Amino acid sequence: MVKRVKHVLRSTDRTQANGTVHIKKRQLAIYARVSTKDQGQEIENQLHPLRAWADLQNRIDVLEYTDHASGGNLDRPGWSQLTADWRAGLIDTVAVLRLDRAFRSVVDMHNVLSELDSRNIRFAVTTTPIDTGTPHGRLLIGLLAHVAEFERDLISIRVKEGIARAKRQGKKIGRKRLKLSTYRAREIVNKHQGDYAAAAVELGVSISTVKRRVKNLPS
């Protein structure tokens, strides 16, 4: 859903040129999502506590972004608009009620949090201690990253065991690999002015994959 200003901004936070309003002060963004499978769930059930949290931060400059979509990937209208706005320098804080409202993928989570960190944008999950604006929150995110890496290693071991078993049984395995050419990777990296995290989010791959493709590009 298209963003909307929840609270009226102070006149001192705005400038006007040719009748167009420009917001000078970076704003707090709250994001809410309900899945298409979540029958009976209301987006307001998330927005209400998020607004209350914003009030506790003494913020009157709040933007709201919402989606009625699956969390399987980041290709959602509300999230895409939020991403465009923080890349435009309009956002200084992103808040969600629960982590799974923003991400369902570990790769997506790390790519986005890396990008936000590089842009000095705070990320907060209001129902947990996860908050990059606090030392404890940054520590927790670091610990979660290690736990996620450990979990991915376990999954990798299980996958390899499953592949070996399938090969022994003579089964054809695997899926079509994502085709990402070195030139495509360089094109998107240049589009984001060398920001590998932003390029990885757009391409739907890891940051290391983008760097590896770009490195392979002949000089």
Catalytic residue among 35, 70, 105, 206: 35
Who's near 185: CB < 8 A, 6+ residues apart? 199, 203, 210, 213, 214, 217
Residue 198: burial class (beta carbons within 10 Å; 0-12, 13-18, 19+): buried
CA-CA distance, 72 to 185, in Å (whole number)?
A: 23
207-215 and 182-191 helices cross at what angle (nearest 10)? 110
Q: What is the dihedral angle through the alpha carbons of 18, 21, 24, 26, rounded to the nearest 10 degrees?
A: -150
End-to-end CA distance of the chain: 43
CA-CA distance, 194 to 204, in Å (whole number)?
A: 17
- HSE of 160, CA atoms in CB hemisphere, 13 A: 6
State which amino acid sits at residue 141: I
CA-CA distance, 121 to 143, in Å (whole number)?
A: 20
Contact 182, 217 (CB under 8 A): yes
Q: Is 70 a catalytic residue?
A: no
Active-site residue numbers? 35
